[in-house]
Chain A
Amino acid sequence: MLIEVILVFFIVVVGTVGEMCVTRAMKIIGEVKEFSPRTLLGVPIRAFRVGWMWIGFAMMALAYFALLGMLARANVSYVIPITSLSYVVGAIGGRWFLGEAVTHQRWIGVLLVCAGVVLVYLGKG
């Protein structure tokens, strides 16, 4: 049981914080205003020069291995609905870590998405 709680923590919290670190790296790069293929391809390359990108990727890799470990222990129909908690962590982290304005309206949307994702996976035929 304890190992499953730890794995879920890595999937939901560490994975989402990793994505937020990637977001921070992208915000440092600044808004892309030109959409030529050269510019678009250059964006991920520039991103890897920012430390946050590497931290984010390392955390996402940990979350990925935790997901594999969890899938080896439990059914996907049990694991994936739990991972939808990452939308809640994303909204909280967006507010506190990235300084985004998460309004009541956005919160309602996030909770609906969470519930919807749970139903999508529970309804897998």
Chain B
Amino acid sequence: MKVAADLRFKTYLLISMLIFFGPIGDLLMSKGMRRIGTAPSWNPAALLHYGFQVFTSPIIWCGTLAMIGFFISYTVVLTWADYSYVQPASALTSGIAALLGRFVLGETVTPLRWAGIAIVCLGVLIIGYTPPRTTEPIDAN
């Protein structure tokens, strides 16, 4: 019983991390790239300067770290949890992206979009009541 509860807890924790890091990474990368703008020309010197601007942007670095956080959370949770459990649960990222858009970027979220987010949350809630792991580890050999 304790093992099942621990497994559920760490699955929820890792899924929370990936639905947090994913949209934050996207948001920061998009903010950083919009601030820098498009490459001015295909001139090698201009491209080098552009690359330097991207490489030295703190927002891009934060976005990259968030994306690494997303990738690690995603791969780690899949070492024990079912793919058919994690994949739909990760759809919550679309809800988080909408919330970030509404409260950080001040975008308008339409009623249809709120309805979609509510249905995604309901679907994830239903999946959340199923066991996170239904398989045994695969033997490498």
Contact = CB atoms under 8 A, between A and B. Distances in A.
A125 B113 contact: yes
A120 B114 CA distance: 7
Given A41-B72, A102-B84, A103-B130, A116 B135 contact: no
A23 B124 CA distance: 19
Interface stretch (B29-37, B45-53, B74-82): B74-82
Interface stretch (A1-9, A28-36, A66-74): A28-36
Interface footprint category on B: 35 or more
Contacts, number: 164
A110 B126 CA distance: 9
Given A103-B130, A105-B129, A109-B124, A123 B115 contact: yes
Interface string B9-27: 0000000000000000000
B14 to A, nearest CB: 9
Interface of A: 16, 19-20, 22-24, 26-32, 40-41, 43-44, 47, 50, 84, 86-87, 90-91, 93-95, 98-103, 105-106, 108-125
